[in-house]
Amino acid sequence: MLIMFIGASLLSASTTNIEMYLWNRLTYVKSGDEVIENQFSLARGYLRINHAFSSNISGRFNIDIFSDDDGLDGAGLKLKYA
């Protein structure tokens, strides 16, 4: 899909833009003078490539990266809008 976007932009007058969105998480837990938990993580992130082949035809390639404290591996990756 990504190769199709790049190839189409070379063959025709078209536009491509790249967007990135990030949501961060900071956890800080303190009991008295003792720090129990202190961590910074990426809760979710999107890398999005939008391409307009013409004024009537466009496509979007979206990579969704997320973390999950409840899961076994703690992270995941999804491909959307392919």
Residue 70 tokens read as 């409840």
What's the pLDDT score for residue 74?
A: 66
Cα distance between residue 37 and residue 13, in whole Å:
53
More confident residue, 69 or 25: 25
Structure-derived torsion over alpha carbons of residues 65, 70, 71, 77, reported in degrees to the nearest 10? -10
As for how many domains the chain has, the answer is 1
10-38: pLDDT as tens digits: 566 678 899 999 998 888 999 999 999 99
More confident residue, 53 or 22: 22
Domain containing residue 68: 2-80
What's the pLDDT score for residue 32?
A: 93
